[in-house]
Structure 1
């Protein structure tokens, strides 16, 4: 009777290690941002034991992305932006840094828009007290950082649309900088539509100056930033896996 076990092909026996996951955060002068991102990476490591997970910042915090990539040498890496929409950092800064590094890299899509982000936004609103007033008097301002890139605004508007469909109330995107409307302007628009209870959904990955300024303009309840919600860790890994399905931006020269 033949054995049910087959010999392992030599190529399978020498499987290459998984490419490193490099989470690319923006960076912030607020110390809460770094501690939040660090805790989020710990969640990713808990979900995928054995996967090398590293952090690189675009600015303001160490380690900076070029230093993280330099430390990886010529190994494979997938860069996942801890950013919520397309914009200059996603389109130019991160790919440019990756191209200048010795690593063989793939650059993943930003986190948003994605239904998992809507899960997080809904949970954060519920934690803040959402759902305790009649729905026909409620509305939400989705407060985001803002960008001059029109694709970033399109992505944020898509998330607002998904959140509105989930909650069954109007959701207007608003921005802390570089785009309009501002949070106060969005609040006025919703008040003019007869919405008396206007919540602020913090579309920020971590606490910081923009999140704080937007919260101060909220007329009712304010949700916490996305932070270390478990779905954020799952989404980072999802973007990592998506990027692995695409070819690396640069391969090593043949031996």
Structure 2
């Protein structure tokens, strides 16, 4: 996760059902035998990791996240001997044994070196093991583009230079080209969910839980002034309709298998 961001489990939980949809689409397409040992790298508050443990009742599930705030929220969901949560950095993680499945949900956009990390995770898998991950693919969307433009303005650039990245992930074709030449079977695709959000300034509330966290952390007490300016830009980019505010939510998915038949 981003070293600049302080995570708020409550804010992250806003629109929790909508955020969870890509996870369940990803996990629903993991084939193969039921794992004996699985890892969830970047587990957040642990609700979705608990769903993994329920899906694979015979598996030991190891879950880590770089945010102490998230892990404090997750630990009560642990199951002795079956589901364990710990603070950890996905970049330096090493499995205790060769995992049958590695899942990473909406994490790798925070890891600049993840293109080098993915082959290492593949090598760590047991024979026939699967790596499944998904990342946001909406960094060119207005929600992110106007955030970067505002952060780069004369007023804010001095404090926000280098805080936001424009291209933190690849498209599905990029991950296919990264992993397939190494001999792995790769299923890569993308989905755009037309999320219909409700409430006042719902897109702002959405990004406050994720993409905006580094900005809020960098600005501290001055963040409200930035939010006031950003709110106006979002209202223009995402006008409310009679049935809600439409927020296109593009995600990139990859499932890569080691020694797949």
Q: TM-score, normalised by structure 1?
A: 0.35
Higher strand share: 2
Find the structure with the greater CA-based Rg: 1
Q: TM-score, normalised by structure 2?
A: 0.35
